[in-house]
Amino acid sequence: MNLQQLVRKNVWNMKPYSSARNEFKGEASVFLDANENPLNDKYNRYPDPLQWALKEKIANVKGTVPEKMFLGNGSDEPIDFVIRIFCEPRIDNIVAIDPTYGMYQVCANVNDVEYRKVLLDENFDLDAQRLLDKTDNNTKLIYLCSPNNPTGNLLNREEIKKVLDTFQGIVVIDEAYIDFASETSWINELDKYPNLIVFQTFSKAWGLAAVRLGMAFASIEIIGLFNKIKYPYNVNILTQEYVSAELDKLEMRKEWVRELLKGRDFLKQELSNLPFVEKIYPTDANFILVKVTDANGLYKQLADKGVIVRNRNSISLCAGCLRVTVGTEEENKTLLKVLNTFGIKDEKTSIIYRP
Ligand SMILES: *Cc1c(COP(=O)(O)O)cnc(C)c1O
| Rounded distance between C-alpha atoms, residue 164 and residue 277, angstroms | 37
Angle at 330 (CA atoms; ends 290, 258), nearest 5 degrees: 75
Alpha-helical regions (H) of the chain: 3-6, 9-13, 20-23, 52-62, 76-86, 103-110, 128-133, 157-166, 220-229, 237-246, 250-272, 295-304, 329-340
Residue in 69, 14, 26 with CA at minimum distance from that of residue 235: 69
Provide the phi-psi class of 172: left if phi over 0, else alpha when psi is between -120 and 50, else beta.
beta
Q: What is the pLDDT of residue 347?
A: 53
Q: What is the pLDDT of residue 19?
A: 87
User: Measured between alpha carbons, how far is residue 184 from residues 66, 177, 179 in Å?
Assistant: 20, 11, 9
Q: Candidates 73, 75, 180, 286: which one to mutate for ligand 1, based on the most atoms within 8 Å of Cβ?
A: 75
| Strand 69-72 with 214-217, pairing | antiparallel
Distance between Cα 202 and ligand 1 center (Å): 9
Residue in 96, 129, 130 with CA at minimum distance from that of residue 113: 96
Q: What is the pLDDT of residue 109?
A: 98
At 249, is the secondary structure helix, strand, or coil? helix
**For residue 178, what is the DSSP state?**
G
Cis peptide before 99 (omega within 30 of 0): yes
Which atom of ligand 1 is the closest one to the Cα of 76? 7
Distance between Cα 4 and ligand 1 center (Å): 29
Query: What single-letter amino acid sits at 83?
Result: I
This prediction's pTM: 0.95
Distance between Cα 198 and ligand 1 center (Å): 12
Query: Which residue's alpha carbon is at the smallest distance from atom 1 of ligand 1?
Result: 176
Which residues lie across from 93 on neighbouring strands? 114, 139
| Rounded distance between C-alpha atoms, residue 97 and residue 349, angstroms | 32
Q: How many CA atoms lie within 13 A of 276 on its CB side?
A: 27
Q: What is the pLDDT of residue 25?
A: 81
List, in order, residues 6 or more apart from 229 with CB less than 8 Å away: 11, 14, 16, 81, 84, 85
| Rounded distance between C-alpha atoms, residue 260 and residue 249, angstroms | 16
Cα distance from N-terminal residue to C-terminal residue, the chain:
62
List, in order, residues 6 or more apart from 29 with CB less than 8 Å away: none
Give kind and range of the element (H or E) at residue 197.
strand 196-201
Chain centroid, CA 141 distance in Å: 16
Residue in 193, 243, 241, 236 with CA at minimum distance from that of residue 218: 193
pLDDT in tens, 117-140: 999 999 999 999 999 999 999 999
- Per-position pLDDT tens, the chain of length 355: 899 999 999 999 999 998 888 888 888 999 999 999 999 999 999 999 999 999 999 999 999 999 999 999 999 999 999 999 999 999 999 999 999 999 999 999 999 999 999 999 999 999 999 999 999 999 999 999 999 999 999 999 999 999 999 999 999 999 999 999 999 999 999 999 999 999 999 999 999 999 999 999 999 999 999 999 999 999 999 999 999 999 999 999 999 999 999 999 999 999 999 999 999 999 999 999 999 999 999 999 999 999 999 999 999 999 999 999 999 999 999 999 999 987 655 555 555 555 4
Query: Which residue's alpha carbon is at the smallest distance from atom 5 of ligand 1?
Result: 75
pLDDT in tens, 25-78: 888 999 999 999 999 999 999 999 999 999 999 999 999 999 999 999 999 999
Alpha-helical regions (H) of 139-288: 157-166, 220-229, 237-246, 250-272
| Rounded distance between C-alpha atoms, residue 330 and residue 74, angstroms | 29
Which atom of ligand 1 is the closest one to the Cα of 202? 8
Q: Report residues whose beta carbon is within 6 angstroms of any ligand 1 atom.
A: 74-76, 101, 145, 149, 174, 176, 201, 203-204, 209, 214
